[in-house]
Amino acid sequence: MHSTAVGYCGGSVDVPTYRQVCSGQTGHCEVTQVVFDPALISVTDLLKRHWESHDPTQGNRQGGDVGTQYRSAIYTEKEDHLALAIASKNAYNIVLNSAGFPKITTEISMQPRFYYAELYVESLS
């Protein structure tokens, strides 16, 4: 990979804050933007890491974290990457279903606007 950044995508508010996203009212999910060199890692390899690094069948949650901001999502800027993501979802869905897991709930679409997460520090007092 070349670089990563954390932020928000997929919602209805311009320049959302962490508190707004956590309220569940904006529709954004927390995302990691990945910029990569296809000569070093393929989209297929990145998708494999995505599917195998979390449980994409949990809907609006990941482990103990619950809310729309924790939904599984893949947003892409290229049509061919979108097609690869959908095909990989279908393939992993077959494997997971045969192992007794529910269907994959991952949202896959062309990338909506990405907003960088702001520095957020909460007072402990």
Asked, for residue 124, whether it belongs to a domain, the answer is no
Q: Is residue 72 part of a domain?
A: yes
Q: What does the alpha-carbon distance between residue 71 and residue 59 come to, in Å, rounded to a whole number? A: 6
Q: Look at residue 123 and tell me if it is in a domain.
A: no
Count of domains observed in the chain: 1
CA triple 104-106-109, angle to 5 deg: 135
Answer yes or no: is 122 within a domain: no
What span, in angstroms and rounded, lies between the C-alpha atoms of 9 and 36?
Answer: 19
Q: Please indicate, yes or no, if residue 27 is contained in any of the structural domains.
A: yes
Residue 28 lies in a domain: yes
pLDDT digits (tens, 9 = 90+) for 13-63: 999 999 999 999 999 999 999 999 999 999 999 999 999 999 999 999 998
Query: Is the full-model pTM beyond 0.75?
Result: yes
Mind listing the pLDDT tens digit for each residue in 60-87?
A: 999 899 999 999 999 999 999 999 999 9
Whether the CB-CB separation of 77 and 114 falls below 8 Å is answered with no
- Give the distance from CA 54 to its chain's centroid: 10
For residue 110, the enclosing domain spans: 3-116
Query: β-strand 65-66 against 61-62: which pairing, if any?
Result: antiparallel
CATH number for the domain that contains residue 91 = 3.30.1060.10
